[in-house]
Amino acid sequence: MSIQAAQRMGLRCLALDPTEDCPASQISPALVGSLSDVEAVSGIFSQCAKVTLENEFIPASVIQSALRAVGREESCLVPSLASLAIIQDKYLQRQALVAAGVPGPTSAEVAGDGELAIAKIGFPMVLKARFGGYDGKGTRYANSPDEFENLRNLWGDGGWIAESFVKFKREIAVMVFITEQGAGTFPTMETFQTDHVCDTVQPCDADGSKIALDAVRAVGGNGLYGVELFELETGELLVNEIAPRPHNTGHYTLDWGGPSQFEHHIRLVTNLTPAPIDGLPTCMVNLLGQAGAKDWQDGLAAAINPDPAVRVHWYGKSESKPGRKMGHINVCGSDCVERAKAARTRFYAAWVGNTTVPEEVG
Ligand SMILES: Nc1ncnc2c1ncn2[C@@H]1O[C@H](COP(=O)(O)OP(=O)(O)OP(=O)(O)O)[C@@H](O)[C@H]1O
Ligand SMILES: [Mg+2]
C-alpha cells in the first residue's frame, strides 16, 4: 500500500520479497531474496535513492552491513536505523522507554532460571519474545510459577522478556510522524484485539498523542510509527509497543478523506512536507483468514452490495490461513462501527459459504 501511494505520486519502486508471489511484487518490480540476507538487502540499497520498510524484522545489523557493502549513508533509510535496532528487540525498546521516563508495564529480561524475572514481575505475567513477534505469535501468559515453568521451552533460550499484566480499560493506538519538516500525530483510535490479533479500530475520545510522541522520541524515531497504548481506569496511559512503519491501526486513513498513512509515509521518506492531518471518523475491521473459506469475491460482493459506502481492501496474499490478515473494510461516518462490523459479518458468511459465520467480535 506504500508502493501504491508512491506510484500515485509518480515515484518508481522496487520491492524485496521473500517469494515471487508476495503482494508487493504484483504491483511493482521486485527482487526475490531473504530479508535477512545482506546480499539481497544490498540489491535494494544499490538501486534505490530512498529505502523504507513494511515490517521490523530485517535485522538492523543486516541493513548496516548492506549499507556498508554498497557505500551508502544511513540517511537513505527511513525509519532511522537507530530506532529500528531498538524497536526490533522488545527488551531494548522497553529499556529506552524507561530511560526516557515514558510509562509502560514493568518489564524484565528472562535469563537463567527465570527467578529474577519472577521476583521483579510476579504473577500474572506476560511473556514476550524479544524478536520477531507479531499478531501475538510471540506472546504468552503465565498466572503462576507452574505455568511459567511449563513455558520454559520458550523462555529458556534467554530470548524472552517478562512484563507485568496490565488490567487496561481499553487499548488505543496513535500514528506518529517525526521528521525535520515537522512532527505530529493522526487521531487516537480505540483498538480491539481478539486472541492478540487486532480486529477492530474505531474513533474514540481518548488523546494519546503526547505519550505516543514521547515514545517515538525515546527510541530516536525519524519517520512514521504506530504506537500501541493501554489506557487504565484512572485515565493513565502506558506504552505497549512501537512499530517503525505504517500500521494496521492506521489503515482507516485510506478512506477517511484526509491523507492516508501510506501517502504520509512516502512524504516522510522522500523529505516532502507532511500533509495537514484531517479526515472523517472512520472504522476499520480486519478480514482474517477463515477455515473453509472459498471465493473471497463472494465476500466482496456481499459486503458492498447492500451498503455501497463500504470500502473493501484485499491484499492479494497467495495463501489464506485461519487468522491471517487478508484484507480490511473501512466505513466512514457516524454509524461507521456498526456498519463496518455488519459488512464484515456479510463478508465472512459469503466467503465461507454460510456454514460457520464467526461471532461478531470487538
Ligand atoms: N503487559 C500486557 N498486559 C496485558 N495485556 C497485554 C500485555 N502485553 C500485550 N497484551 C495483549 O496482547 C496483545 C498483543 O501484544 P503485543 O502487541 O505486545 O504483541 P505483538 O505480537 O507484537 O502484536 P502485534 O504485532 O499484532 O501488535 C496486546 O494488544 C494486548 O491485548
Ligand atoms: Mg501489538
pLDDT value of residue 1: 97
Contacts of 70 (CB under 8 A, 6+ apart): 42, 45, 46
Rg (CA), the chain: 21
Q: Please, what's the b/e burial string for 277-296 (b: 16 or more CB within 10 A of its CB; e: otherwise)? A: bebebbbbbbbbbbeebeeb
pLDDT for 186 beyond 60: yes
Q: Report the nearest atom of ligand 1 relative to the CA of 197.
A: 26
- Segment 12-22 shows an average pLDDT of 95
Question: What is the structure's pLDDT at 347?
Answer: 98
Distance in Å, CA 237 to ligand 2 centroid? 15
Residue 361 has pLDDT above 80, yes or no: no
Q: In this predicted structure, what is the pLDDT of residue 354?
A: 57
Please state the atom number of ligand 1 nearest to the C-alpha of residue 136.
21
pLDDT digits (tens, 9 = 90+) for 18-46: 999 999 999 999 999 999 999 999 999 99
In the predicted model, is pLDDT for residue 362 greater than 50?
A: no
List, as one string, the DSSP characters of 131-165: SS--TTTTEEEE-SHHHHHHTHHHHTTS-EEEEEP
Task: Please name each of the domains of the chain with its CATH number.
Answer: 2-77 (3.40.50.20), 106-164 (3.30.1490.20), 170-351 (3.30.470.20)
Q: 241 in ligand 1 pocket by Cβ < 6 Å? A: yes
C-alpha of residue 136 to centroid of ligand 2, in Å: 7
Cis bond leading into 203, ω under 30°? no
Q: What mean pLDDT is reported for the chain?
A: 95
179: nearest Cα among 257, 263, 264: 264
CA of 196 to the centre of ligand 2 (A): 8
**pLDDT digits over 246-289, tens only?**
999 999 999 999 999 999 999 999 999 999 999 999 999 999 99
Q: Is 126 in the pocket of ligand 1 (CB under 6 A)?
A: yes
**Average pLDDT over every residue of 109-118:** 94
Q: Does the CB atom of residue 105 touch ligand 1 within 6 A?
A: yes
Quick check: 246 and 113 in contact, CB under 8 A?
Answer: no
Ligand nearest to the CA of 247: 1
The pLDDT of residue 318 is above 80? yes
Average pLDDT rounded to a whole number, residues 116-130:
97
Ligand 1 pocket mutation, candidates 123, 174, 191, 240, criterion most atoms within 8 A of CB: 240
362 or 28: whose pLDDT is higher?
A: 28
Give tens-digit pLDDT for 134-178: 888 899 999 999 999 999 999 988 899 999 999 999 999 999 999
> Burial of 322 by CB count in 10 Å (0-12 exposed, 13-18 middle, 19+ buried)?
exposed
| Atom 26 (ligand 1) nearest CA | 135
Q: Which atom of ligand 1 is nearest to the CA of 166?
A: 3
Pocket perturbation via mutation, ligand 1, pick of 169, 175, 241, 361 by most ligand atoms within 8 A of CB: 241
195-222: average pLDDT:
97
* Nine cell digits for residue 325: 490478515
For ligand 1, atom 11, name the residue with the nearest CA.
Answer: 196
CB of 240 closer than 6 A to ligand 1? yes
| Residue 358 pLDDT exceeds 70 | no
Return the SS3 of 326.
Answer: strand
pTM: 0.96
CB-ligand 1 contact for 194 (6 Å cutoff): no
Residue 165 CB–ligand 1 contact under 6 Å: yes
Instruction: Report how far residue 52's alpha carbon sits from residue 24's, in angstroms, rounded to the nearest whole number.
Output: 13
Give the pLDDT mean for 85-113.
97
Which SS3 state, helix, strand or coil, does residue 301 take? helix
Q: What does the pLDDT read at residue 157? A: 87
Is the C-beta atom of 232 inside 6 A of ligand 1? no
Q: Indicate which atom in ligand 1 lies nearest the CA of residue 138.
A: 21
